[in-house]
Amino acid sequence: MPISEHCTELVKRFEGFRQQLYTCIGGYRTIGYGHKLSLHENFQQISQEEGLELLHKDLEISSRSVLRNTTCCLSQYQLDALSSFVFNVGPAAFQRSTLRQKINYQELDKVECEMLKWVYVKAFKVPGLVLRRKAEIELFYRC
């Protein structure tokens, strides 16, 4: 099941677009819509179209991670919300998370509490992450 525009638009809203290479709050070299550069990438500047291409590839990786690491059936909204979350925190963090465990144990009522734990960068609570998590939670529970 591919992600929908709900996911893409949510990520675009919270990441914003940056044409020039920058260092994100987590300390990663980043460009476009929150694309973390790998060691072999050396972008200095990209167009919005290139940024969208990178975003779609990154979200595909995120959604595959969600599907690979969850054992229950997810709705489109749940996949979109979790793909946005994984895009932000990374596949490895999601794989190790209690959030993933709660989902796999069908304890979906605990998703909100678990997601709201992921609002810190280097021990500091980031207001933008609080807003992002609330938007992801709202999307996750949408019928």
The DSSP line for 21-73 is EEE-TTS-EEEETTEEPPTT---SB--HHHHHHHHHHHHHHHHHHHHHH--S-
CB-based burial of residue 59 (10 Å sphere; 0-12 exposed, 13-18 middle, 19+ buried)? Answer: buried
DSSP state at residue 86: H
State in Å, rounded, how far the first CA of the chain is from the last one.
Answer: 17
Catalytic status, residue 15: yes
Helices and strands of the chain, counted as H and E runs: 7, 5
Query: Of the residues 9, 15, 107, 136, which is catalytic?
Result: 15
Q: Which residues are catalytic?
A: 15
